[in-house]
Amino acid sequence: MTKTLLLSAAVFALATAASAETIRMSVTTSFANSGLAEVLLPEIEKDIGLTIELLVVGTGQALKLGETGDVDAVLVHSRSAEEAFIAAGFGTHRREIMYNDFVFVGPSSDPAGVIGDVSAVEALQDIASAESTFVSRGDDSGTHKMELGLWKAAGISPEGSWYNSVGQGMGAALNTASSMDAYILADRASWLNFGNKGDLTIVFEGDPVLFNQYAFIPVNPALHQHVKSEAVDALEAWLTGDHAKALIEDYTIDTQQLFVFNAKPE
C-alpha cells in the first residue's frame, strides 16, 4: 500500500512538472544581479506551476523585446520609457511591484570630494570638475537613463578621457569601476550583492531623485497573439500578492533589505 502511494505521488509530481507552463520575461541586469530572481522563481513554479525564462538585458533592450513580441512580459525600471512603451500600444498596463534606490559608488579616498554633497547633481558636478574617473553603463538601461538625466540636470555633457562608457550590464560595469578605482552610479541591490568591491564604497546616497521603481508590464496580446496572457495574468497576481511581498521584503544581504514591496491591489 505504501509503495503504491509513493508511486502515485511520484507519477503526480512528474505529471505536474511536465504540465508546467513556461513564459519568457525580459528583466533588467540590476534585477538579475540582485539575486532576488533566485529567490522568487522557484516559489513561482511551486505556487502556480509557472516556469519563467528570464532574458537579462538593460531596460531599453527589455522593452524592445516586448515590442517585437519575443517575451510575454517585462520587468524594468525607467518610468518614462515604460509609459512610452504602453502609449505606443506595446504593453497593456504598468503595475508597480517594488522599489529601492540608486547610489553613487566611488573610491574610499573620494578624490572628487563627493562625500558630504547635498544632492546627486552636486555630486556629478564635483566629479566632472575634478575629472575623476567615472564609469557609465552606456547601455540604454534604466540605470543609464537615470545617469543621463542627472547629467542633464547638472548642466553637463560628460566627455573626455575621465568618462568611460562601457556598454555593459550592472555587474560588469561595477567590475570595471572596481578595476579602475572609479565612480559609478549603481542600484543599491546590485551594489550590496556585488562581490568585487575592491576599494570602492558608497560615497553619496539619499537624494529623493535617486528613487528606483520596478514595474511589471504584460506585452499586448492584440499585437502578438502567441503571448500567453493567462499565464502572464497569473504571474502578475502572484507578484503583487502576500507571498511575493514576504519574499521580497525578507530578502537581505548583510542585514540590509534590498527592495521594498509597494504593489497596490487592483
Please give the CATH topology (third level) of the domain spanning 22-99+212-261. D-Maltodextrin-Binding Protein; domain 2 (3.40.190)
pLDDT band at 11 (very low <50, low <70, confident <90, very high): very low
- Spatial distance between the Cα atoms of 49 and 70, rounded to a whole number of angstroms: 21
Using one digit for the tens of pLDDT, what is the confidence trace for 74-126? 999 999 999 999 999 999 999 999 999 999 999 999 999 999 999 999 999 99
- At 132-164, the pLDDT tens digits run 999 999 998 899 999 999 999 999 999 999 999
Could you state, in order of their start, the residue ranges of all structural domains in the chain?
A: 22-99+212-261, 101-210
Q: Is 265 helix (H, G, I), strand (E, B) or coil?
A: coil
pLDDT (0 to 100) of residue 33: 87
3-state secondary structure of 118: coil
254 vs 160: which has the higher pLDDT: 160
Q: What would the CATH number be for the domain defined by 101-210?
A: 3.40.190.10
Identify the pLDDT of residue 189.
Answer: 92
**Which residue blocks in the chain are alpha helix, DSSP H?**
2-19, 29-34, 36-48, 59-67, 79-87, 120-130, 142-154, 170-180, 188-192, 229-239, 242-250
Fold match, 22-99+212-261 / 101-210: yes
Question: What is the pLDDT, as a whole number, of residue 17?
Answer: 41
Strand 200-204 with 211-218, pairing: unpaired
Give the pLDDT score at 173: 95
| Gap between the Cα atoms of 234 and 230, Å rounded | 6
Given a contact cutoff of 8 angstroms between Cβ atoms, the answer to whether 72 and 227 are in contact is yes
